[in-house]
Amino acid sequence: MREAFDLTIHDISADFLRMQSLTLEQLTKVRSALQGGTVSNLRERIRSIDLEVDQLEIDLEAHCLRAIARHQPVASDLRFFMLILKSLTDLERIGDYAVHIAGDIEELAGELRGAQTADILPLLTRLTEMLEKLSYAFTEKDVAEAAAIERMDDDVDALYEQLQRAALTRILEDPRSLSSALKLNRMARSLERLGDHIENVAERIRYWLTGQR
């Protein structure tokens, strides 16, 4: 019975990591486009990845609920299932935000100046680092890495505020930049919210491993 339960845990973990990997792939492609890569059909390319994220959310929820009903887990095993079930929405929202950001980049193609791109790239870089650490913390059951992600989200908030100030300065200096500055700010807001979702998952990983909030 325990062997079957362990196999279930393994399969669910693999799919959960797959979801994380897909969101990282989305953000990596978005960052590449912003750095001068192919912008054409970017939203559709990110959306195609998001469809798999959405399907994994559905499949994992069903798998977890069946496993809980069958095995009636307790203690850390129950916390594992709570981690997965509560984090599915966060990962799905990360995928959605990536689609929105890809659409914004398509709209801004040709409008973004070098300085504006330089403003947004640190946010994207920090978020991809957070997603990489998230997979490591989950796979290696590393409490310190999970805690580090929570601290990194403070960096994301600071970068977002910095970008807002820079956008306001540009508008004051050149009112013609208003449209692109507002779109850039919308993109940055999506990235900031995306970071909050990564932090949510990190907090649950820490609780799963320690039992302490």
Q: How much is the pLDDT for 184?
A: 85
- What is the per-residue pLDDT across 111-153, written as a single tens digit (0 to 9) for each? 766 667 788 899 999 999 999 999 999 999 999 999 999 999 9
Better pLDDT: 37 or 74? 74
Cα separation, 143 vs 162, in Å, equals: 30
Inform me whether the pLDDT recorded for 177 exceeds 80: no
Q: Which of 109, 192, 182 is nearest to 158 (CA)?
A: 192
Whats the size of the chain, residue-wise?
213
| Mean pLDDT calculated for residue range 184-208 | 95
Q: pTM of the full predicted structure?
A: 0.94
Amino acid code (one letter) for 105: I
**pLDDT confidence of 80, banded at 50, 70, 90?**
very high
> Tell me: the pLDDT tens digits for 83-109?
999 999 999 999 999 999 999 988 887
Q: How far is Cα 110 from Cα 74, in angstroms, rounded to an integer?
A: 55
Closest to 101 (Cα-Cα) out of 155, 158, 28, 14? 28
- Give the chain's mean pLDDT: 93
Q: Is residue 3 over pLDDT 90?
A: no
Which tokens belong to 133?
A: 């650490």
Is the Cα torsion angle 60, 61, 67, 70 positive or negative in sign? negative
In single-letter form, the type of residue at position 187 comes to M
Fold observed for domain 2-210: Methane Monooxygenase Hydroxylase; Chain G, domain 1 (1.20.58)
Query: Percent of the chain beyond pLDDT 90?
Result: 75
The distance in angstroms from the start CA to the end CA of the chain is: 31
Amino acid sitting at position 109:
A
